[in-house]
Amino acid sequence: MPQHLSDVLNACERMGKLNVRADDLRAKLPDASPEALRKALYRQQRAGRLVRLSRGSDHWLIVPLQHAATGSPPLEAWLDAYLRRTLDTPYYVGLLSAAEAYGASPYAVMVTQVMVETKRRPITVGRHELVFHTCARIEAMPTRWHESADGRFKVSTPELTVLDLIQRESMLGGMGRVREVLRALWPQCTSEGLVPALGAMCSVPVAQRLGALLALDEQAALLVPLSDWLRGKTTRLIALEGALPQGEERADNTNTDFKVWIPPQLGANT
C-alpha cells in the first residue's frame, strides 16, 4: 500500500491514468486523514503536479513532466473524462475550435469553444481556456471523435460546424470572417453529412444563409440536398448578415433562390 500521495500519482501516470478523483485517492491512501489528504493535494497542486478542473468536481488532473511548462496535458487526455464522466454533461467541441480540429481555421484560436446543454462558467486549466456555449437538443447533434495519441474528445461534424458558425457569426467576428473559415471547410462536407446536420439544428434561416453562401462559393454538390431539405418549408426574406435594407438596394443584391439579401461587401467570391 503506498504511503504518500506522490507514490499514488506516479503509479497512476505509469498506467496512463491522468484523470483521478478524490474518492479514488482516498481508497488508495486509507490511513490518511481527510485533512492530511487535503493538504497533500494542495502541495501537489502548488508544485504543478496536479490541477483541479473545477470547484466541487473533485476531479484532478495529473500533469506529466513533459507538460509541466503548459500546466496541463492536451485536451484529448482529459476533456471527455471531465465533461462526460465526472460532470455527466453531454458536449462537443464546436465553432472555430472544431474548424481548427479539421485544419480549416485560418485564425489562431485562443480559447476552446465547447457546446453544452446548460450554461457553464469558463474554466482555465494550465494554458487551456475553455468557453462554454449552450446548445439545445445537444444529444441529437451529429458528432465524431477527434483522436490523437493522447486520447480523444467529441467534435461537431464538418457539416454541423458549418451550421454553427453561420448561426453564431455575430459572436465570431462577423460573416466575413466566417466565410474564410467556411471556404476551408467545404471540401470536408458531404451531402450525406449535411442532411442529418440540417435536421438536428432544424433552423430554416440558417439553412437559407447556408444556401446563399454555397451559391457564392459555387458549391453545387451541397446545394442539391440543401434545396431538397428546404422544399415545402416556409421561408421569408432575410439578410445574410445584419438587418435588411430598404428600397431598391435590397432587390439588387438578393439571392432569390434562398431569399437572402447579401451585403455588397460579402457578395464578392474572393
What is the domain partition of the chain in residue ranges?
1-66, 173-267
Question: Nearest Cα to 116, choosing from 67, 149, 148, 82?
Answer: 82
* Residue 32 CB partners (closer than 8 Å, separation 6+): 5, 26, 40
| CA atoms of 107 and 64, how far apart (whole Å) | 29
| Confidence check: pLDDT of 250 > 70 | no
By percentage, how much of the chain surpasses pLDDT 90?
80
60 in helix, strand or coil?
A: strand
Residue 1 is predicted with a pLDDT of 46
Q: Work out the average pLDDT over 88-114.
A: 91
CATH class of residue range 1-66: mainly alpha
At residue 2, does pLDDT exceed 90?
no
173-198 average pLDDT score: 96
Answer yes or no: are the C-beta atoms of 162 and 99 closer than 8 Å: no
Entry pTM = 0.89
How many Å apart are CA 43 and CA 76, to the nearest integer?
Answer: 26
Give yes or no for a contact between 126 and 72, defined as CB atoms under 8 angstroms apart. Answer: yes
What is the pLDDT, as a whole number, of residue 3? 76
Q: How many CA atoms lie within 13 A of 134 on its CB side?
A: 6
What's the confidence (pLDDT) of residue 247? 65
Tens digit of pLDDT for each residue in 3-62?
799 999 999 999 999 999 988 899 999 888 989 999 999 999 999 999 999 877 789 999
pLDDT in the model for residue 249: 59
